[in-house]
Structure 1
């Protein structure tokens, strides 16, 4: 999988549908006195967020676009300086803002590769057509990514299952158009 991205579910602007954006991360707090901000990144690798030269920032329902002047690793995290932010006070105004990116700005993936936001929400069925629920979210273990599948009213039960994202072993087919994922998985596990 490429960047691990979380899809935003809120509508930021009147008449705007946030199905067209992913949330790359958020600005957490000012860093220093020259307008830098600490960045919490949802991308994998963490500093992949700095590959995008322009960010859309959403705070209190407003969205503005800012160019990334500079960005770097700082300790265990990231910091960035955005165009127009030159003081601690100007940076403080954006603490807590989400960093958005239009989905069409994401790099194209090879066949069989998916962004996490594409998998979240897919209906998961076994090859015997047993409905296990929907992909709620994913997480990394170091060995492989893991799908968290939550049962719902249409599913076999309301259990939460953890399935390894192992193409051709556990995950047999992903059909984004049909919004389904077929898996080789024992429903009792």
Structure 2
């Protein structure tokens, strides 16, 4: 059997960003995009992507630092080496995420879902989500040629978001 080391993630998924080096021993700042910030450490290995170049990373140690983290990369104990990772994206393989129960979904799964209001009028397609303090917001690419602006819809389940149909990739909303 041939053992092949994979240095490019399967089904890449962005989970964070690398900041600048920290100290002289090769630690580096990490900013997590996961809902629970420290959950980023559950999805290993990481791949750093910078200028279309991939680097597979193993974490030796990490610590909470202010509103983000600092990490020590296995085999690196020199600041000059970690400086090349500054501003890299932190990517994981999508298959490292835990499996979900039926009808559950990750935020990235609902990108490109079609959005309809409860009158079954087509509003547009989900192009992104914004994480806000009180509730998240769907960004809908407006299907109307008259209005060029995107539609922003608060993601408040049962009140505004009536149904997320994962089978057909539709979202039904109470929105006019």
DSSP 3-state at the match of 2:175? coil
2:162 matches 1:172 = yes
Structure-2 change in CA distance of 1:19 and 1:174 (3 Å): farther
Residues 129-161 of structure 1, C-alpha deviations (whole Å, 9 max, x = no match)? 2121122222233332221223135x7843422
- Map of 1:6 onto structure 2: none
Whole-Å Cα distance in 1 between the matches of residues 120 and 106 of structure 2?
25
- Map of 2:73 onto structure 1: 82
User: Which among 147, 150, 156 is matched to residue 138 of structure 2?
Assistant: 147
8 Å CA contact 2:18–2:29 kept in 1: the answer is: yes
8 Å CA contact 1:132–1:157 kept in 2: the answer is: no
Q: Any residues of structure 2 matched to 1:38-187 within 5 Å, and which?
A: 38-152=29-143, 157-186=147-176
Two-structure CA RMSD over aligned residues (Å): 2.4
Greater Cα radius of gyration, structure 1 or 2: 2
Whole-Å Cα distance in 2 between the matches of residues 160 and 62 of structure 1?
33
8 Å CA contact 1:30–1:38 kept in 2: the answer is: yes
Residues 60-119 of structure 1, C-alpha deviations (whole Å, 9 max, x = no match)? 212221111111211222111111221001101111211111111111223443211112
Aligned length: 170
TM-score by length of 1: 0.78
Whole-Å Cα distance in 2 between the matches of residues 157 and 121 of structure 1?
19
TM-score by length of 2: 0.83
What is the deviation of 1:19?
8.2
Which has the higher mean CA deviation after the structures are superposed, 119-128 or 84-93? Answer: 119-128
Whole-Å Cα distance in 2 between the matches of residues 86 and 19 of structure 1?
29
Unaligned runs of 5+ in 2: 1-6
Unaligned runs of 5+ in 1: 1-12
DSSP 3-state at the match of 2:95? helix
DSSP 3-state at the match of 2:58? strand
